[in-house]
Amino acid sequence: MNDHPQNGTHAVEIENLTKTFGDFVAVDNVSITVAKGEIFGFLGPNGAGKSTTIRILCGLLKPTLGRASVNGLDVATKPEEIRQSIGYMSQKFSLYEGLTVEENIDFFSGIYGVAKDKREARKDYALTMASLKDRRGSLTRELSGGWKQRLALGCAILHEPPVVFLDEPTSGVDPIARRAFWDLIYQLSEAGQTVFVTTHYMDEAEYCHRVALMYAGKVIALGPPKQLKDEMSQVCHLLQLDTSDPLETMRALEKLPGILDLAVFGAGLHVTVSEAELAIEAIRKALDERQVQIRRLEAIQPSLEDVFVALIEAEERKPA
């Protein structure tokens, strides 16, 4: 699952990285390279090892085995230099609630050692980027979650880091604020900065140039969203099935051969099958017999969420 590494040209290089806590393996032999300017998405259920990997890359935790470098700096031997050359927004980012927007920016400028003659210009950049100019005097505690996140990102990039790590930056904010936050991520990428971002929102994974899916410490899929969807289409097919009676439909389908998986998706079902034409015929017949009306039954393109659900379920079926 490695991808075309060219030494020295990568923002992030991870090679056979393992992190254990006692007997527990939190990160299990992970290898990933991230190109400069790339938006790299890191996905996986809670406890998969995403934050642990990011903490290692930020020089906050030492690897147990393997190696990793950021901006060409080894995480095990150059943690101080790495911290100067990255932006990091943790899951629980630490803004000072009792300070104003502007005061938080001034404070973090000092922490990150932004040169005195650059501070005004960088503050202006952060306020403009985050659209916080009108709120510069507002107390941070009075901002909504979405605005706080924008401010936290602004504070994390004051020192113009070439690589930015964002650990679940959009969790808990509304979809409109999340969308706006992704516009900021694109701005960073267009300016040549590399963004390494974790999220558990599947729709957000679609915005990334490439994604890795992590499960129980291992990377189980890696590639551009489109490639991962195409790969799934080669091994199985996905049907959208909307009927008058979803419960009865599930009962009927459980007994049919050729059905690999069944998942509730909105008001309908996503049915994973090995062969679409045969399955459609069998489903029609079975539902006809039970007098369930079919409103929609057709093959559809899998979403990234379908791909990830299928991959994780396949992992869960594997014997321990």
Smallest separation, CB 215 to Mg ion (Å): 14
Least distance from C-beta 181 to Mg ion, angstroms?
17
Q: For residue 274, how far is the Cα from the chain centroid?
A: 29
Write down the least CB distance from residue 167 to ligand ADP, Å.
7
When the beta carbons of 46 and 291 are compared against Mg ion, the nearer one is 46
Question: Least separation, in Å, of the C-beta of 228 and Mg ion?
Answer: 21
Under the criterion CB under 5 A, does residue 71 sit at the interface with Mg ion?
A: no
By a kind-dependent CB cut-off of 5 to 8 A, residue 189 interacts, out of Mg ion, ligand ADP, none, with none
- Smallest gap from residue 167 Cβ to Mg ion (A): 6
Number of shown-chain residues binding Mg ion (CB under 5 A): 2
Segments of the chain assigned E as strands: 10-21, 24-35, 39-43, 65-70, 73-74, 86-89, 163-167, 194-198, 210-215, 218-223, 237-243, 259-265, 268-273, 294-300
- Alpha-carbon distance of 18 to 31, in angstroms, equals 10
Question: Could you tell me the strand order of the sheet in which 10-21 lies?
Answer: 24-35, 10-21, 65-70, 73-74
Nearer to ligand ADP, 46 or 291 (CB): 46
CA angle 192-130-98, nearest 5°? 130
- Smallest separation, CB 165 to ligand ADP (Å): 12
Q: Are 188 and 167 in contact (CB under 8 A)?
A: no
Could you count the other beta carbons within 10 Å of the beta carbon of residue 8?
8
Quickly count: other Cβ atoms within 10 Å of residue 24's Cβ.
8
By the rule CB under 5 A, 193 interacts with Mg ion: no
> Cβ 59 to ligand ADP, closest distance in Å?
16
Contacted entry of Mg ion, ligand ADP, none for residue 47, CB cut-off 5 to 8 Å set by kind:
ligand ADP
Scanning 51-59, 125-133, 227-235, 237-245 for contacts with Mg ion by CB under 5 A, the matching segment is: 51-59
Q: Nearest-CA neighbor of 165 among 304, 70, 94?
A: 70
Half-sphere exposure of 306 (CA within 13 A, CB side): 28
Q: Which of residues 26-45 bind Mg ion (CB under 5 A)?
A: none
Tell me whether strands 86-89 and 163-167 are parallel, antiparallel or unpaired.
parallel
Give the residue with the Cβ less far from ligand ADP, 56 or 127: 56
Residue from the set 51, 85, 170, 243 that interacts with Mg ion by CB under 5 A: 51
Choice between 62 and 251, CB closer to ligand ADP: 62
Contacts with ligand ADP, residue ranges (CB under 6 A)? 21, 24, 26, 44, 46-52
Amino acid at 236: C
Helix (H) or strand (E) holding 217: none
Query: With respect to ligand ADP, which residue has the nearer C-beta, 44 or 302?
Result: 44
Residue 164 contact partner, candidates Mg ion, ligand ADP, none, CB within 5 to 8 A by sort of partner? none
Contact residues for Mg ion, defined by CB under 5 A: 50-51
